[in-house]
Amino acid sequence: TAHVVILGAGHAGGTAAALLRQYGHEGPITLVGEEPIPPYQRPPLSKAWLKGEADADSLALKPLEFYAEHGIDFRPGVKAVQLKRSDRTVVLSDGSTLAYDVLIIATGARPIALPIPGADLAGVMFLRTAADAEQLKAAVGPGKRLAVVGGGYIGLEVAASGRALGAEVTVLEREPRLLARVACPELSTFFREYHEKHGVTFELGCSVTGFEGEAGRVTGVTLADGRTIACDAAVVGVGAAPNDEIAADAGLETARGVVVDLDARTSDPAVFAIGDVAHRPMPIYDRMFRMESVPNALEQAKQAAAAITGRPRPPGECPWQWSDQYDLKLQIAGYPFDADQIVVRGDPATAKFAVFHLKGSQVQAVEAINAPPEFMMGKQLIANRKPVDPARLADPTISMKEVAA
């Protein structure tokens, strides 16, 4: 009947609370969340929800009543400000103190801010929370000029949704290509061309030096080459940083994320960390990594809930994630660590193809565009480490089943 306290009521924290009950935990559960609403899904904030194709209620992981009905003391609008491991308590922003037997840190990540002039002007936004998304949605519409700083997945999704809402969209990216941190050049080119076809303008290899404004509101983005890109609103999507300060201050081991083991346990056996905030082992690649995806949040919520309730450790999963832009369904499995060869299967011109990242004959990652079989079989190949013949993989007349046989 241990008291489990969960810090952060996001995808990972909310799921862990529900799983603890499902796995038979009978003791008290307290779920502390800085945001004013119960745990919800963030992916639609840049996709279906932003385009107006999903309502706010459909984003919630569970209806608000769920928490009380399952004896989960959900405390919205409260932030954990200090962790005192020596007496197993957490100090909250309302001044109260909460004692725990087991603690789960699920504080997620926050958008990285640009330390440039004008970043605090009205109309310069981030996209992490439902509140951010409301603000963004109110600012985009027919004829509005939207500047997107950062050509990563979230930036590109916002660009696509912005076009769907009739906005004029310019994406500004520091690197010479899109998705530079996460995808191969083939995919970068494909996405740039696809977005251009849909009317998005790109400024690649450009350095954003500031935001200009009038009466406190953004009117443009200034570049190092002296130009100003006029805009009515700007979204900054240049990556996220883990909310791991509370853990680091309490002396837990951190490495750009709270270091955990395969049970999602930190260097303190009474403290777990899950989701975007965790720096976790990846047995498939024999390394540690901090992932930012819903499947990762779910997997680690399962690991922690299983460990806390004395269940066997759940089997490892192949990491995966997705992105929706226009009519494109991108599915990604694995990470291209140490890959030395890229195999493109199918023709990008048909918008139905896959990019495999190989290390020798082993598939490390796959990016599949409108290509579910390539994603599914690729994911299996990554998980079971079975070698493949790159030439056969590149030949779409040979089915994925045969390639993997």
**CB nearer ligand FAD, residue 222 or residue 243:** 243
Q: Applying CB under 6 A, does 43 fall inside the site for ligand FAD?
A: yes
Q: Applying CB under 6 A, does 323 fall inside the site for ligand FAD?
A: yes
Q: Applying CB under 6 A, does 8 fall inside the site for ligand FAD?
A: yes
Q: Applying CB under 6 A, does 290 fall inside the site for ligand FAD?
A: no
Q: In the 3-class helix/strand/coil scheme, how is 1-39 assigned residue by residue?
A: CCCEEEECCCHHHHHHHHHHHHCCCCCCEEEEECCCCCC
Least distance between ligand FAD and beta carbon 171 (Å): 15
Least distance between ligand FAD and beta carbon 241 (Å): 12
Stretch that binds ligand FAD, among 134-142, 210-218, 274-282, 358-366 (CB under 6 A): 274-282
**CB nearer ligand FAD, residue 37 or residue 398:** 37
Q: Applying CB under 6 A, does 232 fall inside the site for ligand FAD?
A: no
Binder among 297, 308, 333, 382 for ligand FAD (CB under 6 A): 297
Q: Output the six-digit token pair for 109.
A: 């990540």
Strands 233-236 and 145-149: parallel
Q: Output the six-digit token pair for 138.
A: 């109110």
- For 351, phi then psi, to 5°, come to 60, 30
Least distance between ligand FAD and beta carbon 104 (Å): 10
Binder among 4, 5, 6, 10 for ligand FAD (CB under 6 A): 10
Q: In whole angstroms, what is the distance from residue 312 CA to residue 383 CA?
A: 20
Q: Coil, helix or strand for 378?
A: helix
Q: Which residues contact residue 366 at a Cβ distance below 8 angstroms, ignoring those fewer than 6 apart?
A: 332, 333, 334, 354, 355, 356, 357, 374, 375, 378, 379, 381, 382
Q: Applying CB under 6 A, does 35 fall inside the site for ligand FAD?
A: yes
Q: 14 vs 7, 77, 99, 358, CA distance in Å?
A: 10, 15, 19, 36
Q: Output the residue with the shortest Cβ distance to ligand FAD.
A: 10
Q: Applying CB under 6 A, does 34 fall inside the site for ligand FAD?
A: yes
Q: Coil, helix or strand for 248?
A: helix
Which chain residues interact with ligand FAD by CB under 6 A?
7-13, 32-35, 42-43, 45-46, 79-80, 106-109, 127-128, 154, 243, 246, 275-277, 292-295, 297, 321-323
